[in-house]
Amino acid sequence: AMEDVSAKFVSQKISRARWRPPPHAALQPPDVFATGSWDNEDNRISLWSAGDLGNVGLSGEYHGEPHLLCDIQHNGDVMDMQFLDQERIVVASSTGTVTIFRHHQNNQTLSANHRWEKAHHHVDQNTSCGGAACTGVVCNNPEIVTVGEDGRINLFRADQKDAVRTIDNADSSTLHAVTFLRTTEILTVNSIGQLKIWDLRQQRNEPSQIFSLAGDRVPLHCVDRHPNQQHIVATGGQDGMLSIWDIRQGTMPVSLLNAHEAEMWEVHFHPSNPDHLFTCSEDGSLWHWDASTNVSEKPSFLHQGGRSTTYLSHSTINQSVVSAWLSNDPTKDRMEITNLIPNQTLSVNSLDVLGSCLVYGTDAEAIYVNRQLFA
Amino acid sequence: MEEPDTDPPLVVVPGADPSARQLCFEWGPAEVLVCETRFGRKGGSRTHPVPSRSPSRPQSHPIPTPIPSQSRALTGCVADAAGAAPGSSRVFVVHRDQDIYIQTLRKLFNESHGIFMGLQRSEEELAGKSRKAQLVQVSKNYRSVIRACMEDMHQAAVSTRDPALQGQYSTQVSILSAMELIWNLCEILFVEAAAAGPLLLRLLDWVRLHVCDVDSMVREVLSSESPSKHKLFWNVVDVFVLQGRMDEARHLLSKEATANPTSMTMYKILDDLMKKMPMPSLGNTQTLTELELKWQHWHEECQRFLQDGTFASNPHMESICKILLGDEDAILEKKELMTTWYHFLVTRLLYSHPTVKPMELRFYAQSSMDMFLGGESSPEPLDMILMAAFEFEMHQVIKECSIVLSNWWFVAHLTDLLDHCKLLQSHNLYFGSNMREFLLLEYASGLFSHHSLWQLGVDYFDHCPEYGRVYLELHIERIPLSTEQKALKVLRICEQRQMHEQVRSVCKIMAMKALRNNRLGSALSWSIRAKDAAFATLISDRFLKDYCERGCFSDLDLIDNLGPSMLLSDRLTFLGKYREFHRLYGEKRFPEAARLLLTLMTAHIAPCSFWMTLLTDALPLLEQKEIIFSAEQTYELMRCLEDLTAGNVDKQKFQEDDVETTKVEMLRLALARNLARVIVKEGTVEGS
């Protein structure tokens, strides 16, 4: 419901919003998130408290808009960012630089902890190299992988000064996003509609597998992997289409789902409830895809072995049942899709989901927090 | 038709000295360039104003922003500071909408953009009453955004320690407050168009909301231990009475009454009078005539008590009774408690003309202002704007606001709302289209001059039917494309509006950038997106040139996956096919490779300049142990070679270039040998 959404106008266009990961799988709702801005003369990384905990109403609902904890200036547009751990955020810049910022929680300040200058750059014979936008970053502490407009893939370690591995010219078109498939393998998407798997253990500078869209090679802008079933991958394209891939088979997507009317900027499986998926787009909408209606008709494993049923989460079910995302039958039509933002006109650039909480940021210079996603 | 202002406001450009040098200027879509000429000034006026279309800046406030101020803080900035040496000229950039650069106001721009879009989408078909309710709600939404912004600005003013900054924030608070005051009055008079009766109630609300100078006094008295002993007690009672807050006034009076049992009867009578005062109602429960009758009756009752000296012993109560009777002198005595002439106007209406009709307002407004100011001070711009509103001179309100306020936001949004109320239809300007569109264009142009707010401007242009498109086309081309991501956003805007020219231009810029950075793959995908065949050809040639120089292809991942986009240009098709030849060759599928190679030439897919390379590529196939080219194919290859050498006779190239001659000789030899082998083989096969 709309009442559960709190909004704040922040006087900067938001390119990224990320929840801080909870300390060791804690059950309490996430409380702090980070945002990055773009297209400002003075871009910033900001940390926000999601709402005033002192204002919890009688029925447990939260009030109050997010409030700023601390912020720091950032050189260039924030293209992507991710929490490395509870205290550190890795930020990709349009200048090609990758920076780790540290959040000092005792005195609420942010500082630049480490910086890889021009991790992404163009190599020009005539001039010295100019920075190329770093478009995507993904972390698996201590490893950090970045991709960029220069088609380069970098592998860093948070504690090492130089890149552990660099694949120059890994892609001849722009790499738009990256994510981990397994600890040593990554997935990238590019501007000619390709999804590639790279095995970082191999010294070959070639992808181990290439998948691609048929027809008009529509650029892909975002990618996410199913948290439990690693072979299921979702990507979002320039035409707003959601593609689901099964990387065990074929070179083309398993299903193409008509979605937004413009670029899909981000796609996220819900980390603990992966029958739910969230996408946001340049067209100003944010969609909640609920495939759980399909699963509920499958035989339930909930009551097996007399174990406590309440403790079994959806994720355990999913490992034993064919995923709702791959089913090819017409029940797909019964997937429930809800647009969470009616009447928005400007782009929703980023979203993040954790527990029952959703945060998103827009070009209309506002951040929104929805605390009751599944209410 | 409206006449232009005869007296444009002055714009001071800091740093420019019109007394020393003559200035010249040039209008741009988002700013004015002012340039010092080499001509000195001889005599003439010392001040040399830049003609201005209004809210550029009447004065140059330094703008409160944490941004390093050089570029934005001043009205104009020196674009070329390098030429500061004597004798050289400088160029100043003068932005047209000063407030666009105030950080805190960005909230106003963004949030009101949403309201604006909602209004454009709203159902015009809704019938009379519900349509009006809808428009009033929109108006209230706009006002609540102004108020929220005002609160933020106030917070900023309170929390900053820098006195200069504090001053700027306070100035902004008072500007926003004035904007809300004007908007609220326009809402009552124009949007809601309140009728006699409810009109007074609305005006009372308006005064209560905006006359806040006395609030602290009220708080102080009410929170004191015994309010009736406070020296400002009667002032507060008066404030309540003047604002028509009868219940609150009676509540306070009852405290005084219990403390003064001797004058109990007097209090009772006054309390009774105040209780019985007839008020207009919002519902249709009573007609105006009924109200007037009741009011007349009550008025006479008050008159009676005043004349028989009931309150003679208490001057405070006597004066209240006089106020209830609408005695202008008695009301004017409380000037300090009202602080403004429009408060006086509303109080006067409340106690003398509660059923005032909208069209009668102008008379009372004018006389109230004259009486209140009493020749002591002259009306300020705000007074003139409010007066114009009371006179229902909507265009005057908008015009004055355009001149006085330092932003286009206010007039653009207010005018748009009034236009949706169908109040501005008949008005045409001597320039451009109508006033609504003119103001929206100005506002949106201001947004486009901002490095970040330009995206908001797009939707405003969309809702300007006449010139919006042209403005958008001009502005969108000037957005710097710093990253591909930003270019994609710009591109989306252009594509959605079928702005083909701009789509091509954005793609071309991005393709050029990629090309310069040696990112052939990216360059190609940009030109494919724009369906720019010429550029795709150019890039294909670069690929082929690279191949000729290095002997191998770069960006195979792209060339191998061209798909249908290969058909965009002939050269691109050739590139794709040629790469296919290499793949077939690599896979040792020689007959297929040979067939493809030959087709590339005979079907004229390959450019002539590339034929020699293709023929050279045929050499190893001719030298294979088994025979690959048939007799017929060999003849065709020979013809290709002869065509090529014959075509080049004029240029004398083949004769002079030893390497080329050797190549041709080798090819001829290889072709002849292959022909011999094939004739033998084919003859043997046929003969056996």
DSSP line for A214-239? SSS-PPEEEEEE-SS-TTEEEEEETT
- Please tell me the distance from the alpha carbon of residue B412 to that of residue B235, in angstroms, as a whole number: 41
Q: Which of A23-27, A137-141, B308-312, B614-618 has the lowest mean pLDDT?
A: A23-27
For residue B236, the one-letter residue type is V
Coil, strand or helix at A160:
coil
Instruction: Judge whether residue B426 has pLDDT over 70.
Output: no
The residues near A361 (Cβ < 8 Å, ≥ 6 apart) are: A14, A15, A16, A17, A35, A348, A349, A350, A351, A367, A368
Tokens of A55: 């204002």
The pair phi, psi for residue B210, each rounded to 5°, is -105, -20
pLDDT at position B325 is 93
Residue A165 and residue A200 in contact, taking contact as beta carbons nearer than 8 Å = yes
Task: Spell out which residues of chain B touch residue A262, defining contact as CB-CB under 8 Å.
Answer: 492, 496
Cβ-defined contact of B452 to A215 (cutoff 8 Å): no
From 2.130.10.10, 3.20.20.10, 3.65.10.10, 3.40.50.1970, which CATH number describes the A5-23+30-292+321-370 domain? 2.130.10.10
Of B482, B485, B517, the CB nearest to A122: B517
Instruction: Judge whether residue B76 has pLDDT over 90.
Output: no
Buried/exposed A105-132: b ≥16 CB within 10 Å, e otherwise: eeeeebeebbebebbbbbbeeeeeeebb
Q: What percent of chain B has pLDDT over 70?
A: 86
- Please tell me the distance from the alpha carbon of residue A262 to that of residue B457, in angstroms, as a whole number: 19
Instruction: Judge whether residue A375 has pLDDT over 60.
Output: yes
Of B451, B483, B563, the CB nearest to A94: B483
Q: What is the pTM of this model?
A: 0.84
Q: How confident is the model at residue B37 (pLDDT cuts 50, 70, 90)?
A: confident
**Average pLDDT score over chain B:** 83
* Mean pLDDT of all residues in A89-93: 97
Q: How confident is the model at residue A303 (pLDDT cuts 50, 70, 90)?
A: very low
- Please tell me the distance from the alpha carbon of residue A104 to that of residue A175, in angstroms, as a whole number: 33
Of B484, B563, B564, the CB nearest to A133: B484
B51 vs B126: which has the higher pLDDT? B126
Residue B446 and residue B100 in contact, taking contact as beta carbons nearer than 8 Å = yes
Residue of B488, B510, B524, B568 to mutate, interface with A, max A Cβ within 10 Å: B488
Cβ-defined contact of A282 to B459 (cutoff 8 Å): no
Tokens of B63: 């703008």
Q: Which of A142-151, A250-259, B295-304, B332-341 has the lowest mean pLDDT?
A: A250-259
Helical H segments across B122-260, by residue range: 128-159, 163-186, 198-210, 215-223, 233-242, 246-259
Cβ-defined contact of A11 to B107 (cutoff 8 Å): yes
A283 to chain B: closest CA residue: B492
Q: How confident is the model at residue B644 (pLDDT cuts 50, 70, 90)?
A: confident
A121 to chain B: closest CA residue: B517
Residue B193 and residue B358 in contact, taking contact as beta carbons nearer than 8 Å = yes
Of A11, A123, A347, the CB nearest to B489: A347
B433 vs B335: which has the higher pLDDT? B335
Instruction: Judge whether residue B450 has pLDDT over 80.
Output: yes
Partner B contacted by A38 (CB < 8 A): yes
Cβ-defined contact of B522 to A346 (cutoff 8 Å): no
Q: pLDDT (tens digit, 9 = 90+) per residue, A231-275?
A: 999 999 999 999 999 999 888 888 888 889 999 999 999 999 999
Cβ-defined contact of B452 to A12 (cutoff 8 Å): yes
State the smallest CA–CA distance between residue B509 and chain A in angstroms: 15
State the smallest CA–CA distance between residue A74 and chain B in angstroms: 13
Residue of B489, B531, B540, B575 to mutate, interface with A, max A Cβ within 10 Å: B489
pLDDT at position A242 is 94
Residue A211 and residue A205 in contact, taking contact as beta carbons nearer than 8 Å = no
- DSSP-derived letter for residue A209 is E
pLDDT at position B653 is 53
Tokens of B25: 């200027």
pLDDT at position B370 is 93
Q: Which of A263-272, B51-60, B288-297, B354-363 has the lowest mean pLDDT?
A: B51-60
For chain A, domain boundaries: 5-23+30-292+321-370
Residue B134 and residue B120 in contact, taking contact as beta carbons nearer than 8 Å = no
B526 to chain A: closest CA residue: A191
Distances (CA, A) of A230 to A126, A247, A313: 44, 9, 18
Of B455, B516, B565, the CB nearest to A217: B565
Cβ-defined contact of A123 to B518 (cutoff 8 Å): yes
Q: Which of A226, A175, A216, A232 is nearest to A198 (CA)?
A: A175
Query: Across the beta sheet with A264-269, what order do the strands follow?
Result: A264-269, A276-281, A286-290, A336-339
Q: Which of A17-31, B43-57, B64-78, B320-334 has the lowest mean pLDDT?
A: B64-78
State the smallest CA–CA distance between residue B593 and chain A in angstroms: 25
pLDDT at position B425 is 67
By CB neighbour count within 10 A (0-12 exposed, 13-18 middle, 19+ buried), where does B324 fall? buried
Q: How confident is the model at residue B441 (pLDDT cuts 50, 70, 90)?
A: very high
Residue with token string 């030893």: B658
B16 vs A280: which has the higher pLDDT? A280
pLDDT at position A345 is 83
Residue A148 and residue A120 in contact, taking contact as beta carbons nearer than 8 Å = yes
Partner B contacted by A210 (CB < 8 A): yes
Cβ-defined contact of B557 to A171 (cutoff 8 Å): yes
Of A9, A79, A219, the CB nearest to B107: A9
Instruction: Judge whether residue B75 has pLDDT over 50.
Output: no
Buried/exposed A63-95: b ≥16 CB within 10 Å, e otherwise: ebebeebbbbebbbbbbbbbbbeeebbbbbbbb
pLDDT at position A57 is 46
Tokens of B175: 């500007």
Cβ-defined contact of B519 to A215 (cutoff 8 Å): no
- Please tell me the distance from the alpha carbon of residue B546 to that of residue B523, in angstroms, as a whole number: 15
B567 to chain A: closest CA residue: A216
Q: How confident is the model at residue A180 (pLDDT cuts 50, 70, 90)?
A: very high
Instruction: Judge whether residue B376 has pLDDT over 90.
Output: no
B349 vs A321: which has the higher pLDDT? B349
Cβ-defined contact of B517 to A38 (cutoff 8 Å): no
Task: Spell out which residues of chain B touch residue A149, defining contact as CB-CB under 8 Å.
Answer: 483-484, 519, 522
Task: Spell out which residues of chain B touch residue A217, defining contact as CB-CB under 8 Å.
Answer: 525, 561, 563, 565
Q: pLDDT (tens digit, 9 = 90+) per residue, B215-250?
A: 888 888 888 888 888 888 999 999 999 999 999 999
* Mean pLDDT of all residues in B642-665: 70
A176 to chain B: closest CA residue: B485
Partner B contacted by A16 (CB < 8 A): no
B480 to chain A: closest CA residue: A39
User: What number of other Cβ atoms are within 10 A of residue B373's Cβ?
Assistant: 15
Scanning A145-204 for CB atoms below 8 A from B yields 149-151, 169, 171-174, 191-192, 194
**Bridge partners of residue B35, in order along the sequence:** B24, B91
State the smallest CA–CA distance between residue A220 and chain B in angstroms: 12
- Please tell me the distance from the alpha carbon of residue B323 to that of residue B347, in angstroms, as a whole number: 9
Q: pLDDT (tens digit, 9 = 90+) per residue, B579-610?
A: 889 889 889 888 899 989 889 988 888 888 88
Q: How confident is the model at residue A296 (pLDDT cuts 50, 70, 90)?
A: very low
Instruction: Judge whether residue B468 has pLDDT over 70.
Output: yes
Reported ipTM: the value is: 0.89
Scanning A334-353 for CB atoms below 8 A from B yields 343-347
Q: pLDDT (tens digit, 9 = 90+) per residue, A22-70?
A: 887 666 778 899 999 999 989 999 999 987 554 444 444 455 789 899 9
pLDDT at position B10 is 66
